[in-house]
Structure 1
Amino acid sequence: MAKSQNSQIVQWLRRNLFNSWYNTILTIICLWILLLAIKGILTWIFAQAQWTVIKANLHLFLVGRFPQQLYWRLWLALAIILSLTGCYWGILTKRLPNIINRWQPLAWALSFPIILWLIGGGFGLEPVETNLWNGLLLTLVMALTSIILSFPLGVLLALGRQSSLFVVRWMSILYIEIIRGLPLIGILFLAQVMLPLFLPDEIRLDRVLRGIAGLTLFSAAYLAENVRGGLQAVPRGQLEAARALGFNTLFIILFIVLPQALRAVIPALVGQFIGLFKDTSLLAIVGLLELTGISRSILAQPQFINRYAEVYLFIGLIYWLFCYSMSLASQRLEKQLKLGIR
């Protein structure tokens, strides 16, 4: 078996990399450049980089100025997330019975307000002001909240754009096209400055809620177009057959159209969620100290000035880990749905 695999590798190398004299020279040059680059990177990582900036400020990167005596609440929230994630992964890998899958959406829905309660306090817990939510904690809260809020809004906009009602259809089209024609940073500034002007005087939204509103409104427009593509992929014959069987419009949309449409656009939806997670870095421009914003604060410390490479490499690694995890979960979900596993 090993000899067969080795021979296949050798044949592949000869066929793709060493099949002519100029390909051989080009392959050798590229390997030499790659080795030099790897050597330089490893030398910088292990001999030149000063990683004390990460070690000394790790708590700021992760939770910012969240009160240290209340860290137990963050650990409890993390335990809830890891438990649900483990159950979800076990279902995807067929290591847990599928009956658990029926309760998975309800468990996630109930866990979200519990986690926000643990982080923000109230109802018997000591409140923690949102200006103390910094670093990765704020990035995750804003990204997850925006994803959860923008998804149903995007679905409603997509359905509204397909509606036969003139007012609903054109209001949806107008919203989608206006938002898609504006840059996200402009919408974030509008949410911070203009949103309070449209609210009653007794209602005061803090900057975190205004940032979530900007991200949600922006993401919903793009999600609507992704969902609309899935809706158009559903064969018209299924709708006609459902109507012939006596189903009303609401049942047709909820149980026939939407499941197929969302299944068809899972890669696009996850790509939008990944983009939204990375777009939270723009919140640093409007004064919110999420992961990128807290990094700028750390770099302003006199003892860590000019340590840009170490800091941005570290936060880049964090972004990559979360984005790759979302992509991996999406691939598993696509495989599960393709195989018809419920």
Structure 2
Amino acid sequence: MSISEALLALPTRRRASLEALKTGLFGTPLNSALTLLTTAFLIWVVPPFLRWAIVDATWTGSAADCSSRSGACWAFVSAKFRFILFAFYPPELQWRPLLAMSLIVALLAAIALPRFWRRELLVIWLLVIGTVWTLMSGTLLPPFVPSSQWGGLPITLLVWAVCFAGAAPLAILLALARQSKLGGLRTLAVIFIELMRGTPMVAILYVAMLIIPMAVPGGQLIDKTVRAIVMVTLFWSAYLAEVVRAGLQAIPPGQTEAAASLGFGYWRTMQLVVLPQALRLVIPGMVNLAIGFLLATSLLAVIGIFDLLNAAKSSASDPQWLGFYNEAYLLAAVIYFVLCFGGSRYSLWLERYLRGAERHGI
């Protein structure tokens, strides 16, 4: 049976996918050349990597066992896995960050499903974040653990979830203010957005670390992690505001005029007519920004907060396991990839879901 006959024998949808794949890979001379170059590159890179990662790897043992072989030292990952996940949190209490991380993941899963999009979810969100903070600190369940000992994946997820969730409503208000007919309000919104977007995140973190304690009465008493969360939330709200503003500008003026003809006021028009359509249009941009923000949490290292990447780096500085940075960074990269790839797949699913809901008038 020829290739053409085999393609004709396949179901229509699968045949169309294979035809699209064939066109994408070999549809033009340039595509064919790029396909061949990519294949050659993979043949050059993948076999040595597999030999390093699997064939010549050391799976168990000590650092001395790893030094006698040329492959990866997965024994290091096994020995330092808990440190990479939880950093300097006391080992006997690491069930706390594990439970906190589970609560955050469950909260994110609930927020991701449209069936749970109710006002009660806001209350649940506040309760979960409060519970996570209380659990990590040991406020109600001694012993107390200061935030300077928090780190790893739980602190990455906590800062990401709190800052992005806090930035979203601020961004909507900033986007509306930037389009306001009130000149003073619009000017203030423009100044704030451009100032934040024109300042590096590292500078914002240094402001949280050095300037706020001196400028705010009692600033020294404010937890370092709280200061960082507040400033990072303001920073990302400016970026998110521009994404939301793009969605607002894409809504035809007739939508607002139709709402006004029905007697809707400004806020009811925004709530029921404009914002639902605008936010639906900018889902890809918001998810892209969320993924970028997740990766940017690694900058927390500059103010001494041990996020996932910084914990991975510190694990390879242990004198007993000195120098195994490749394995540590590879583990961190896999965790980041799983989170980011999951976010991108969720974005595609949510777009399809909302498109179907709109088509059925839901």
> What's the TM-score, normalizing by structure 1?
0.85
Per-residue Cα deviation, 1:190-231 (whole angstroms, up to 9, x for no partner): 221112222113762222122212321221111111111111
Residue 46 (structure 2) pairs with residue 43 (structure 1): no
1-side partners of 2:42 and 2:165: how far apart? 42
2-side partners of 1:339 and 1:286: how far apart? 45
2-side partners of 1:145 and 1:306: how far apart? 34
Q: Is 2:240–2:286's contact at 8 Å kept on the other side of the alignment?
A: yes
| Residue aligning to 2:78 | 55
Q: Secondary structure at the match of 1:328?
A: helix
Contiguous gaps of at least 5 residues in structure 1: 93-97
* Superposition deviation, residue 317 in structure 1: 1.1
Q: Secondary structure at the match of 2:153?
A: helix
Residue 32 (structure 2) pairs with residue 4 (structure 1): no
| Residue aligning to 1:288 | 305
Per-residue Cα deviation, 1:10-53 (whole angstroms, up to 9, x for no partner): 99759954998x99898666534422321111001011011222
Aligned in 2, Cα 1:131/1:34: closer, same or farther, shift over 3 Å?
A: same
Residue 121 (structure 2) pairs with residue 105 (structure 1): yes
Aligned in 2, Cα 1:82/1:108: closer, same or farther, shift over 3 Å?
A: same
Per-residue Cα deviation, 1:52-94 (whole angstroms, up to 9, x for no partner): 22111111111122233333433433444455566677x57xx
Among 249, 253, 263, the alignment partner of 1:246 is 263
Higher relative contact order (CA 8 A, sep 6+): 1
| Residue aligning to 1:268 | 285
Per-residue Cα deviation, 1:108-153 (whole angstroms, up to 9, x for no partner): 4543332333223324564321111111111111111111111111
Q: Secondary structure at the match of 1:297?
A: helix
Q: Secondary structure at the match of 2:7?
A: helix
Q: Secondary structure at the match of 2:221?
A: coil
Q: Is 1:64–1:137's contact at 8 Å kept on the other side of the alignment?
A: no
Among 116, 122, 141, the alignment partner of 2:133 is 116
Which residues in structure 2 correspond to 1:60-75 (within 5 Å)?
60-75=83-98
Q: Is 1:145–1:212's contact at 8 Å kept on the other side of the alignment?
A: yes
Q: CA RMSD in A?
A: 3.1
1-side partners of 2:19 and 2:162: how far apart? 50
Of residues 286-295 and 313-322 in structure 1, the stretch that sits farther from structure 2 once superposed is 286-295
1-side partners of 2:262 and 2:142: how far apart? 53
Q: Is 1:161–1:172's contact at 8 Å kept on the other side of the alignment?
A: yes
Q: Is 2:240–2:289's contact at 8 Å kept on the other side of the alignment?
A: yes
Code of the residue aligned with 2:46 in structure 1: it is I
2-side partners of 1:208 and 1:118: how far apart? 15
Code of the residue aligned with 1:60 in structure 2: it is F
2-side partners of 1:200 and 1:152: how far apart? 27
1-side partners of 2:338 and 2:220: how far apart? 38
Residue 170 (structure 2) pairs with residue 153 (structure 1): yes
Code of the residue aligned with 1:39 in structure 2: it is P
Q: Is 2:174–2:189's contact at 8 Å kept on the other side of the alignment?
A: yes
1-side partners of 2:104 and 2:219: how far apart? 35
1-side partners of 2:34 and 2:299: how far apart? 41
| Residue aligning to 2:66 | none
| Residue aligning to 1:95 | none
Q: Is 2:214–2:220's contact at 8 Å kept on the other side of the alignment?
A: no
Of residues 54-63 and 198-207 in structure 1, the stretch that sits farther from structure 2 once superposed is 198-207
Q: Is 1:88–1:101's contact at 8 Å kept on the other side of the alignment?
A: yes
Q: Is 1:274–1:323's contact at 8 Å kept on the other side of the alignment?
A: yes
Of residues 300-309 and 166-175 in structure 1, the stretch that sits farther from structure 2 once superposed is 300-309
Among 99, 104, 107, the alignment partner of 1:76 is 99
* Superposition deviation, residue 312 in structure 1: 1.0
Aligned in 2, Cα 1:81/1:215: closer, same or farther, shift over 3 Å?
A: closer
Number of matched pairs: 334
2-side partners of 1:5 and 1:88: how far apart? 43
Identity between Structure 1 and Structure 2 (%)? 34
Q: Is 1:192–1:210's contact at 8 Å kept on the other side of the alignment?
A: yes
Aligned in 2, Cα 1:135/1:4: closer, same or farther, shift over 3 Å?
A: same
Aligned in 2, Cα 1:336/1:19: closer, same or farther, shift over 3 Å?
A: closer
2-side partners of 1:237 and 1:272: how far apart? 29
2-side partners of 1:239 and 1:10: how far apart? 44
1-side partners of 2:303 and 2:101: how far apart? 28
Residue 42 (structure 2) pairs with residue 34 (structure 1): yes
Aligned in 2, Cα 1:187/1:58: closer, same or farther, shift over 3 Å?
A: same
2-side partners of 1:301 and 1:187: how far apart? 31
* Superposition deviation, residue 6 in structure 1: 8.3
Code of the residue aligned with 2:53 in structure 1: it is I
Aligned in 2, Cα 1:222/1:202: closer, same or farther, shift over 3 Å?
A: closer
Code of the residue aligned with 1:77 in structure 2: it is A
Aligned in 2, Cα 1:45/1:251: closer, same or farther, shift over 3 Å?
A: same
| Residue aligning to 1:335 | 352
Q: Secondary structure at the match of 2:145?
A: coil
2-side partners of 1:236 and 1:23: how far apart? 42
